[in-house]
């Protein structure tokens, strides 16, 4: 089992946060859980789930907490995940692809007007096209990670 690759089942916000932290996360909300289990097995990924009846399967990591912060904390602590600052914001939170840094000028026409010229960095996902920058949202996230004491 690869310890830093996951399939997250039906917990989209957790999947997004783990991707932002730099982990390789596939997400599924498929009604039928069998293909999801098979995917995790095939790729040697840890399956994160809060589905009660899946809890007893030994290779499924069952999340006890209902709230997102609790789920993130449990995942990181119990799986002893190593977080690296340099891995944060390297993956697309939407599709899991690696992001590439781009110049502000290249995205000028695609970003909100008030984002331009503020000294932010910009990254693009060349898979889904989404553009990221370190605006307020990113600062809030960093504070969250700090508060949860998951970043050294």
DSSP-derived pairing of the beta strands 60-62 and 46-49: parallel
Q: Is 26 in the site for Zn ion (CB under 5 A)?
A: no
Closest CB 49 distance from Zn ion, rounded Å: 23
Q: Is 12 in the site for Zn ion (CB under 5 A)?
A: no
Rounded Cα gap, residues 5 and 126, in angstroms: 21
Residue nearer to Zn ion on the CB measure, 12 or 127: 127
Among 5, 87, 97, 134, binds Zn ion (CB under 5 A): 97
Q: Is 94 in the site for Zn ion (CB under 5 A)?
A: yes
User: DSSP character for 54?
Assistant: G
Range 40-74 burial, b when 16+ CB lie within 10 A, else e: beeeebbbbbbeeebeeeeebbebeeeeeeebbeb
- What is the rounded radius of gyration, in angstroms, for the C-alpha atoms of the chain? 17
Crossing angle (nearest 10°) for helices 68-78 and 12-20: 50
Among 55, 128, 146, 149, binds Zn ion (CB under 5 A): 128
Q: Is 90 in the site for Zn ion (CB under 5 A)?
A: no
Closest CB 127 distance from Zn ion, rounded Å: 5
Q: Is 126 in the site for Zn ion (CB under 5 A)?
A: no
Among 12, 30, 44, 127, binds Zn ion (CB under 5 A): 127
């Amino acid at each position: 089992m690869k310890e830093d690759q996951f399939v997250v089942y039906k917990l989209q916000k957790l999947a997004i946060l783990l991707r932002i932290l730099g982990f390789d996360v596939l997400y599924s909300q498929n009604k039928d859980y069998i293909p999801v289990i098979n995917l995790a097995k095939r790729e040697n990924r840890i399956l994160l789930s809060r589905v009660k009846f899946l809890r007893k399967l030994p290779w499924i990591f069952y999340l006890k907490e209902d709230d997102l912060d609790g789920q993130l904390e449990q995942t990181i602590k119990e799986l002893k995940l190593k977080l690296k600052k340099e891995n944060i914001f390297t993956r697309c939170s939407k599709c899991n692809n690696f992001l590439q840094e781009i110049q502000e000028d290249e995205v000028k026409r695609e970003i909100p007007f008030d984002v331009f010229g503020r000294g932010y960095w910009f990254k693009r996902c060349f898979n889904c096209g989404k553009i990221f920058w370190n605006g307020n949202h990113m600062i809030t996230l960093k504070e969250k990670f700090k508060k949860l004491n998951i970043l050294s």
